Amino acid sequence: MLIGCHVSFNKDKQLVKSTEEAISYGANTFMFYTGAPQNTNRSEISYELTSEAYRLMELHHIDREKVIVHAPYIINLANRDHLEFSVRFLTEELKRCDQLGMSYLVLHPGSHVGVGIEQGLHNIIEGLNTVFIEYRGKTKILLETMAGKGTELGKTFQELKTILDGVYENDRLGICLDTCHLNDAGYSVENFDQVLAEFDQIIGIDKIGCVHVNDSKNPLASHKDRHENIGFGTIGFDSLLRVVYHPLLSDVPKILETPYIDREYAPYRCEIAMIKEQQFNPNLREQVKEESQK
């Protein structure tokens, strides 16, 4: 089972920092942003630090092929006024993935901000086609399933399918399922087999390159997108455990993006332990705080 979480990547230690953080949580995979998700400041990728991180990954049996990069939120391919910037920044981000030896970049498809679903999807398709002309490397883009907050696109499998169909080189695209977003979009994670069957019919299970495992603070179809710690939300521990251990997704990395406790303490070591032991820990929050004060 491939289980990890979102970790940091900083200017001084770059991928070494991300790898060390993942290892400290008992993770065997991880996801990171190449810089702050909300701005364009990016540091030059260091070859020395990258190779040091590779050595560390090898030592701890982390498969580099399965490590995930997340694209910054400021990219919005659905908005035409923003398209030139988004295409350029996404292309640069893909090149950074290559420099880091990463194979998958998770991307939020975009928000149409008023132009409507059809036009928004059209803009995304055009944006991705342009990006794939300008970028010829090996990193694939995984489109994330969205909650449908505001004018977000990619909230239904059908919308994602429309994007896949419109992109010429769609073998360079895959999908990242996010359990919180699925729930908030109206797909019942409790009946995950049914959701997966529907996904398979429309898109195909083989397209899934990553799963974001998050509980949700809100009920089914709420279109909110607020993540909750595993077992503390409306999806619940047992349903999330079935996703994590689903036999059809055994090769797919599972990534936690759950909130810090009191905005300060990373819950991931305890959450990963809970998932590995397959036993819900109702005292998770207390334990996380206790451990970090040691």
State which residue, 21 or 152, has the beta carbon closest to Zn ion.
Answer: 152
Residue 184 interacting with Zn ion (CB under 5 A)? no
Choose among Fe ion, Zn ion, none what residue 215 binds, the Cβ cut-off being 5 to 8 Å by kind: none
**Of 140, 170, 175, which Cα lies nearest the Cα of 157?**
175
Count other Cβ atoms within 10 Å, centred on residue 228.
17
Name the binder of 225 from Zn ion, Fe ion, none, CB < 5-8 A by kind: Zn ion
Which of 21, 93, 215, 225 is in the footprint of Zn ion by CB under 5 A? 225
Please report whether residue 178 would count as binding Fe ion according to CB under 5 A.
yes
Estimate the crossing angle of helix 14-24 against helix 47-59, to 10 degrees.
20
159 binds Zn ion, rule: CB under 5 A: no
Q: Which residue is nearest to Fe ion (CB)?
A: 212
The residues with which 140 forms a beta bridge, in sequence order, are: 104
Which partner in Zn ion, Fe ion, none is near 212 (CB below 5 to 8 A by kind)?
Answer: Fe ion
Q: How far is the CB of 34 from Fe ion (least distance, A)?
A: 14
Distance CA 214, CA 178 (A): 7
In the complex with Fe ion, which residue's Cβ is closer, 159 or 178? 178
Give kind and range of the element (H or E) at residue 197. Answer: helix 192-202
Are the C-beta atoms of 227 and 258 separated by less than 8 Å? yes
In angstroms, what is the minimal distance from the CB of 160 to Fe ion? 14
Going by C-alpha positions, the residue among 103, 87, 65 that lies closest to residue 251 is 65
- 30: enclosing H helix or E strand: strand 29-32
Q: How far is the C-alpha of 141 from the C-alpha of 160, rounded, in Å?
A: 13
| Residue 70 or 112 having the CB closest to Fe ion | 70
Stretch that binds Zn ion, among 61-69, 75-83, 117-125, 218-226 (CB under 5 A): 218-226
Nearer to Fe ion, 75 or 131 (CB): 75
- CB of residue 283 vs Zn ion: minimum separation in angstroms? 26
Report which of 142, 200, 130 is spatially closest to residue 167, judged by C-alpha positions. Answer: 130
In the bound state with Fe ion, the residue whose beta carbon lies nearer, of 144 and 215, is 144
DSSP output for 250-281: TTS-EEE-PPPBTTTB--HHHHHHHHHHT---
> Site map for Fe ion, 200-239, x if CB under 5 A?
------------x---------------------------
Summarize as ranges the residues that interact with Zn ion (CB under 5 A). Answer: 225
Summarize as ranges the residues that interact with Fe ion (CB under 5 A). Answer: 144, 178, 212
